[in-house]
Structure 1
Amino acid sequence: MSGSENDPGRLTYAGGYDAVLRQMEGRRDPFTFQDDEALPPGDCDLKSLRSEIVGALPVALKKSKSTFGYKCRELNEEFYGRPRLCYLNGLLIANLRRRDQPPQCAPLFRRIWAEEHAFMLSQLDARWLVSSVTTFADHGATEAQRRVGHALTVLFSTMKLYETERLFSGHAPDEPFPWRRKTSNALPLQMDPYAVTGGGLDVNMLGRLWDDAAGDEVIAPLAHHLLRALNADGRNVFRRLRLMREARQEGRAAPAPGVDFERDPQFDRHAVPVPGALAKAPPSWGVVATVKAPLDQIARFAAWHRELGAERVTLYLDAPETAQTGWLAGRDWLQVIPCDEAHWTRLGRRPKMHQLRQAANVQDAYDHAGTAWLAHVDVDEFLLPAGPLSDVLAAAPGEAALVHLHPVEMLAEPAPSDTRRFKTTARMAGQHKRVLQRLYPTFGEHLRGGYVSHLEGKVIARTGLAGVSPGIHFLNWKGKPATNRVIPQGSYVGHAHAPDFDSFMAHLPYRMHHGSYRKRENTDFRLADVIDFLQQQEGPGALAGFFEEVCTATPRLVADLDKSGMLVTREMPFDALVAKHFGGPPPEGA
């Protein structure tokens, strides 16, 4: 935060929250009563008030100079000819919005909704139902009543603010917005935009409200009635977002204009200059990887990206084998570069660290790229665009130097399947990090984002930019990561980091000492500490339990991820794609 929060000239509410509170409190002065004025007693007969109809006011109330008398006249006019119980409910709400009120006021209000909720729901319009449920925020008898009342107060008050602003936009309340954003400005307070196609913020918010209300028999009928009404009303942001999402999924929106980008809030801070000619280039793209893996895994990687539309797949074989090189060779779309002595002589020297060899190879690929864009990923990573990747890249702003993809982590499937499921982080779904403790009850609080692999994502860089050096997770310029990046919503890089338990265990020693699991600093109890503890204290079976809870597509985890908006599913028929692009599977053991 900057010093602007203390600069009166830059505040929305001059005087800060002291002034806000003074204004709020000024509206809450208690009602004044004349000697003969009072609310009904707390034990009054509610059933008789159902049949009693509001008629003319008594003469005394018509002439009353009290603020209570004024409110009675106002409500009498509104409820004239309707049941007196509705009038009484309104009068109680008006009193309860003040700082002080007669002692029977709150208990009588709660009695109405405990004993006569069915009648009230049949008689009151939505405006008075909202007023009633929000009154529970300050005057509920239980913690659940107060919590639900506060939550619905925020929901309905926020809806009233933004729907009022919408009146000035020219859009009808039931009209979904077009897919193309008219601005890429960042959201306030560094918030991430809601992911329209895959986000779970809306259902998680409304579902939580429904569940909380269900725990209290007094507020549940009223709260559930209003949430059902909201679901049935087509004139709100939830319905508009649903229509946008459906149009996108059904292909009714043009692919390129429909790309929904999140713009880096630091976009202009360290931006690589993008020449106009590069910004207008056709969106051809390629992918590069430094690989050291069995040939069948390499073939799946190459075939997947060729099927997506890659014009070139470049593979740097970190430990070249004649059998692999020979089987892969001979395809114009596939460039195979053995990282042998001649290769490293050409580039200068062979770095000892694998990460530095990756960096040297991707720089070489970038310098000789024959496509407008170049994606740098690992052999266990797969681009997962929401639509044709060329359309996504074509829609990127001309001043963007790179498209950044958030990572999703592949779950191990209990049985062989072409359907692959990935999990997102809590943040990507608009969830609070405490959801991780529900998803992964034993280990969630020790995992960054709920992952065992990286959270940084991968880059598709615009090629031809002067002075840049593509890295593993970033595009560097003048010694710092370039900030003129955009993130397409609904597109990811899928990381098959631990596709099965045997693979997880085979890579564990390297990852603990040299790779992504190693602990780089003295931080809290994290993944490396969890694995150390399980290995040393719990025995061999403990790691299998860890893998099942965190990394396996169990029915419970899949259902919970889906409910939380944190599940991504893709059809990935690897065997069929390898057969299509290579003519058949590679020889076993290569």
Structure 2
Amino acid sequence: MASWGTCTLLKNPMDEVLAYVAHHQEMGAERVYLFFDDPTDPAADVLEAAQGVVVTRCDESFWNGLSGKRPFRHTERQRQVLMKTYLGCGLDWLLHIDADEFLLSDLPVDELLDDVPAHLATVKAQPFEAMPGDTPKGDRIYRSVHFRGQITDPALIQQLFGPFAPALHRGMVSHRLGKSFFRTGVPDMVPSVHFAKIGDTTTEGQPFHPALRHLHFHGDDVEHWVATAHYKAKVGGVRFNEPYAKTLLALDEAGLRRFHRRVHSCDPAVVAMLTEKGLMLSIDIDLEAKVARLLQSLPNSSAKAAPTTRKSFFGALLARGRQAA
């Protein structure tokens, strides 16, 4: 069967990093490559002993050795660590997928990749965006269980998003290109964040594989989304979506909260309508149970004596990571 792994440059809370690793390992990833944008991230200490996880702390010496200096733009840092991993991973396929994105497949992934025709160098997963609304988070890592796909009907986009509709191409808050598996060993392949360039052609227009999707928890944490919206509109990937970036930059904090409330709504009527139209995925991928299983597998895991609440549990992990640093 085809071997595969994931690659990501990340700077996420501890529980989200653990969830990313646990989920993709249970999906069958042979290796999970984690490049920590903050080299002092305590999650790196927790996961460096995990089987099948390759931890890299992106400190000054790492960047000096890779490209001479640390690239300013996040997307360029992503591109460089992806290329490094692609060339050296030794797997049949490598999936670039962010730490707040979670792959879903209707088939075992290794079997699906085995059946990809030899002339195809990439396979794309379709994105579905989180609709957390005002759902209480409680002990959950992410609050969302409803995810919206791309919308091609302009009237429906206007109905759902009102004054914010012009900013949302196909109703998407983040990217609409999906994420790609890259077949290794392809001559002249240059993998990028969403698709690949092979010689003078790209795979940007490749259709999504019908059995592959990924859940994007973009906007699941309203406070984080509001706090980073202007920064991402200026220097993040969303700056390339000019209508969306301009809309965000024109809003003050109250306006950003109105935007989030309208665009990320999980109102039951909206969920029902989108479900009827085939534009909705409603699923709980049970990340908390997956994280618990991952932690039980770690040497000297603190999960074996874990506190009962999520807050105290991950607080204990954080303290453990700081002590090891």
> Could you tell me the TM-score, scaled by structure 2's length?
0.84
- The 1:490/1:439 distance shift into structure 2, 3 A limit, reads farther
State the Cα deviation string for residues 169-204 of structure 1 (Å, max 9, x = none): xxxxxxxxxxxxxxxxxxxxxxxxxxxxxxxxxxxx
- Counterpart contact for 2:73–2:236, Cα < 8 Å: no
- Counterpart contact for 2:124–2:212, Cα < 8 Å: no
State the Cα deviation string for residues 244-293 of structure 1 (Å, max 9, x = none): xxxxxxxxxxxxxxxxxxxxxxxxxxxxxxxxxxxxxx321100001112
- Counterpart contact for 1:290–1:315, Cα < 8 Å: yes
State the Cα deviation string for residues 298-338 of structure 1 (Å, max 9, x = none): 11111111111111000011111163322111122101011
Q: Tell me the distance in 2 between the aligned counterparts of 1:369 and 1:333.
A: 12
Partner in structure 1 of residue 269 of structure 2: 556
- The 1:373/1:517 distance shift into structure 2, 3 A limit, reads closer
Q: 2:106 aligns with which of 381, 386, 393?
A: 386
Q: Tell me the distance in 2 between the aligned counterparts of 1:517 and 1:359.
A: 16
2:222 is the alignment partner of 1:501: yes
SS of equivalent residue, structure 2 residue 123: strand
Partner in structure 2 of residue 328 of structure 1: 47
With 336-345 and 376-385 compared, the bigger mean Cα shift is at: 336-345
Q: Tell me the distance in 2 between the aligned counterparts of 1:320 and 1:496.
A: 24
Q: 2:183 aligns with which of 457, 462, 470?
A: 462
With 453-462 and 547-556 compared, the bigger mean Cα shift is at: 547-556
Q: Alpha-carbon deviation of 1:588?
A: 3.8
2:149 is the alignment partner of 1:420: no
Q: Tell me the distance in 2 between the aligned counterparts of 1:518 and 1:317.
A: 23
State the Cα deviation string for residues 345-368 of structure 1 (Å, max 9, x = none): 332323222211111101111111
- The 1:307/1:520 distance shift into structure 2, 3 A limit, reads closer
The 5-angstrom pairing of residues 98-177 of structure 1 reads none
2:255 is the alignment partner of 1:530: no
Partner in structure 1 of residue 300 of structure 2: none
Q: 1:582 aligns with which of 289, 295, 317?
A: 295
Partner in structure 2 of residue 403 of structure 1: 123
2:173 is the alignment partner of 1:446: no
Structure with larger RCO (C-alpha < 8 A, sep 6+): 2
Q: Tell me the distance in 2 between the aligned counterparts of 1:516 and 1:433.
A: 24
- Counterpart contact for 2:132–2:144, Cα < 8 Å: no
2:103 is the alignment partner of 1:355: no
Q: Alpha-carbon deviation of 1:485?
A: 4.8
- The 1:477/1:308 distance shift into structure 2, 3 A limit, reads same
Q: Alpha-carbon deviation of 1:506?
A: 2.0
- The 1:550/1:471 distance shift into structure 2, 3 A limit, reads same
Q: 1:547 aligns with which of 253, 257, 260?
A: 260
Q: Tell me the distance in 2 between the aligned counterparts of 1:291 and 1:541.
A: 28
The 5-angstrom pairing of residues 123-522 of structure 1 reads 282-321=1-40, 323-349=42-68, 350-413=70-133, 414-416=135-137, 420-427=145-152, 432-482=153-203, 485=206, 487-518=208-239
- Counterpart contact for 1:405–1:493, Cα < 8 Å: yes
- The 1:529/1:357 distance shift into structure 2, 3 A limit, reads closer
- Counterpart contact for 1:374–1:460, Cα < 8 Å: yes
- Counterpart contact for 2:233–2:246, Cα < 8 Å: no
Structure 1 letter corresponding to 2:247: V
Structure 2 letter corresponding to 1:462: R
- The 1:495/1:557 distance shift into structure 2, 3 A limit, reads same
- The 1:492/1:298 distance shift into structure 2, 3 A limit, reads same
> Could you tell me the TM-score, scaled by structure 1's length?
0.48
Structure 1 letter corresponding to 2:104: L
- The 1:543/1:340 distance shift into structure 2, 3 A limit, reads closer
1 or 2, which has the higher strand percentage? 2
Q: Alpha-carbon deviation of 1:570?
A: 2.2
State the Cα deviation string for residues 426-460 of structure 1 (Å, max 9, x = none): 13xxxx33221122233224311112111111110
Structure 1 letter corresponding to 2:38: A
Q: Provide the alpha-carbon RMSD of the alignment.
A: 2.2
SS of equivalent residue, structure 2 residue 128: strand
SS of equivalent residue, structure 1 residue 534: coil
Structure 1 letter corresponding to 2:285: M
Q: Tell me the distance in 1 between the aligned counterparts of 2:75 and 2:276.
A: 37
SS of equivalent residue, structure 1 residue 336: strand
- Counterpart contact for 1:425–1:451, Cα < 8 Å: yes
State the Cα deviation string for residues 459-500 of structure 1 (Å, max 9, x = none): 101112122111011111225414795531142122111102
SS of equivalent residue, structure 2 residue 214: strand
Structure 2 segments unaligned to the other structure (5+ residues): 297-302, 304-312
Structure 2 letter corresponding to 1:380: D
Q: Tell me the distance in 1 between the aligned counterparts of 2:77 and 2:256.
A: 31
Q: Tell me the distance in 2 between the aligned counterparts of 1:582 and 1:394.
A: 31
- The 1:520/1:384 distance shift into structure 2, 3 A limit, reads closer
State the Cα deviation string for residues 61-93 of structure 1 (Å, max 9, x = none): xxxxxxxxxxxxxxxxxxxxxxxxxxxxxxxxx
Structure 1 letter corresponding to 2:62: H
With 477-486 and 388-397 compared, the bigger mean Cα shift is at: 477-486
Structure possessing the higher radius of gyration over alpha carbons = 1
SS of equivalent residue, structure 1 residue 440: helix
